[in-house]
Chains A and B, each alone.
Chain A
Amino acid sequence: MIKGYKGIPMPVRYLINAGLFVVFLVVVSSLTDAKVISTYNNKIIMLIGINIILAVSLNLATGYLGQLPLGHAGFMAVGAYASAIFMKAVIKTLPLGLSLPLGLLIGGLVAAVFGFIIGIPALRLKGDYLAIITLGFGEIIRVILLNIDSVIGFKLTYGAAGLKSIPKTTTFLDTFICVFLVCFVIHAILKSRHGRAVLSIRENEIAAESCGINTTYYKTMAFVMSAFFAGVAGSLYAGYIGILDPTGFGFMKSIEILVMVVLGGMGSMIGSVISATVLTALPEFLREFDAYRMVVYSLLLVVVMIFKPTGLMGTYDFSLSRLLGKPWERLTSGGKSKKAGDR
């Protein structure tokens, strides 16, 4: 923080953010209840929330850590299957208030364990190996989910037929509470010394290491966190869609998430949020151009890399306190108060 800068004190800042978020939740849910937002649009909003979690969590590994995991859909799949199997087992016995958070947690934890197993060997190596290992991992997960039933001898994932009749527990409210929590946790960690260590690895790994930062530890930490949140998003997705099929979690899906991150700006949370929103909503309203979607995505990747390699938002991050800083100073110093910009 710049010396002499008198911004909004921290608790107030957090209160403003939380308040705005609650307003957003209340407004959207009451609009849904009042049928102003149709059920169809509400579904899209939930999907946007899930994609925001995916994009923000991949951004943690790509934008902030500077690695390129290509198996994000694999982590999502692991989380989705773990939580779906759990939810199917306990939906009749446990109250929803308990089983839902537990399901999300289990999805996240299982994905995190896989992230740890993959991350330990992959992150010891420099260069592009992480991309390859995670890519291989995504494919292995897909093969396992398709064929595991014949090995263990009973029906667990139902292979290519798909895991059906998963309780559709995901609601708008839990999705966006998760979005909020994920964004908050990632933001808070990035502002801490651990986050600065992660950022320093992105800037220059050798320099970071020579400053005494345990690069393997921090790389693994960021990577496992990224996997955890992907697992949470997967769990939400399982409860949202109600049927899981391994082919939906292929390399294609990983690339879709990557496009969101790259387009929004690697290292910008608001960029990921915006591009996840736009790239989820736009195809829904442009259904007739669906065949061109992936062509446009792939061209976007190349064009963005050539002309604006940092993505649309770069590393710029939205900060309410920066926006409200000036008006707050006037307000507290007794000067003329000015209406502050909203988000």
Chain B
Amino acid sequence: MSVFSTIVSQLFNGLQSGSIYALVALGYSMVYGIIMLLNFAHGDIIMVGAYIAWIMMTMLGLPPVIGIIAAIAGCTLLGVLIEKAAYSPLRKSPRLSLLITAIGISFFLENISQLIMGAGAKAMPSIISGSNFRLGTTEISFVSTVTIVVSVLSMVLLTFLVQKTKMGKGMRAVSEDMGAAQLMGISVNKTISFTFAVGSALAGIGAVLYCSAYPQASPTMGSMLGLKAFVAAVLGGIGSIPGAMIGGFAIGLLEALVSALGLSVWKDGVVFAILIVVLLVKPTGIMGRVIKEKV
């Protein structure tokens, strides 16, 4: 294989994992933007989505389309449920309590699925299938292409939702100033639930795409994915939607680069080192705004 085709295929690998990170990072970013919470459970929602798809397709033998729809619907429902059950009672609590609750939820999801589904990884049947095609001399994987196209489409839709619809306007208003938004007649609770629903639906899409890339489901698959997506969100500027996309693609490409250099055991370390460097040099990330703290 020529150097050029190696570069192209690594680029596609990077863009593929990057677009999954970007989808997950969007969920982190939206939730952080609206209630200033690092939703640690977000990565585990993906894991639950993967298991739902597995149950639908392997245990019940349903076609992949049903699996995909069930995974996305299940994630959406779970996200809203978590928000209602665990985060909304703490709306007025200090942020530390909220953060600890999020960690608790994340651990709960991980351990309960380990209890129910067992600790071992479940092999995923292929969800997206199609023939690979060639670009010049390089073979491009069909799954990578679908992943990249689907995530870019989801991001465009999300941008439209946030910028052009009434609900999106409400979301922006609540993240700007919750009290003032309430005075303007925006239902804060509804808006926050909606944000969680959208973020979790994106996580569901991410789950499906992740399972097509790495066809297995395990109880801890979400935690590392979630953490890296979070790094992507911070890198791009947390609270910013285009930032999350840029951050996601950057982390994906970086990982591909590190793997291509033959240092794949250091992949996780490099990602977190990036996080520390970003926080040192530009804590607001690439696209983030500086938020002034009012006394």
Contact = CB atoms under 8 A, between A and B. Distances in A.
B293 A305 contact: no
B90 A306 contact: yes
Interface of B: 36, 38, 86, 89-90, 93-101, 103-108, 110-112, 115, 223, 227, 230-231, 234, 265-266, 268-269, 272-273, 275-276, 279-280, 283, 293, 295
Nearest to A297: B107
Contact of B230 (A127, A132, A143): A132
A294 interface: yes
Nearest to A129: B279
A136 B231 contact: yes
B295 A206 contact: yes
B272 A136 contact: yes
Nearest to B119: A291
Contacts of B98: 305
27 contacts: A121-B276, A121-B279, A126-B293, A129-B283, A131-B38, A132-B230, A135-B227, A136-B276, A139-B227, A139-B268, A139-B269, A140-B268, A140-B272, A143-B268, A146-B265, A206-B293, A207-B295, A262-B100, A294-B107, A298-B104, A298-B105, A301-B100, A301-B101, A302-B86, A302-B108, A305-B104, A306-B101
Nearest to B93: A309
A68 B112 contact: no
What is the predominant secondary structure among interface residues of chain B facing chain A?
helix
Interface string A83-117: 00000000000000000000000000000000000
B279 A125 contact: yes
Nearest to A291: B115
Contacts of B115: 291-292, 295
B35 to A, nearest CB: 12
A33 interface: no
Contact of A122 (B96, B234, B265, B279): B279
B266 A301 contact: no
Given A146-B265, A295-B111, A305-B104, A128 B95 contact: yes
Contacts of B273: 136, 140
A258 B94 contact: no
B137 to A, nearest CB: 34
Contacts of B275: 132-133, 136
Contacts of B280: 121
A258 B100 contact: yes
Contact of A125 (B90, B111, B230, B283): B283
Nearest to B269: A143
Contacts of A286: none
B130 to A, nearest CB: 35
B107 A298 contact: yes
A32 to B, nearest CB: 35
Most buried by B among A118, A129, A207, A298: A298
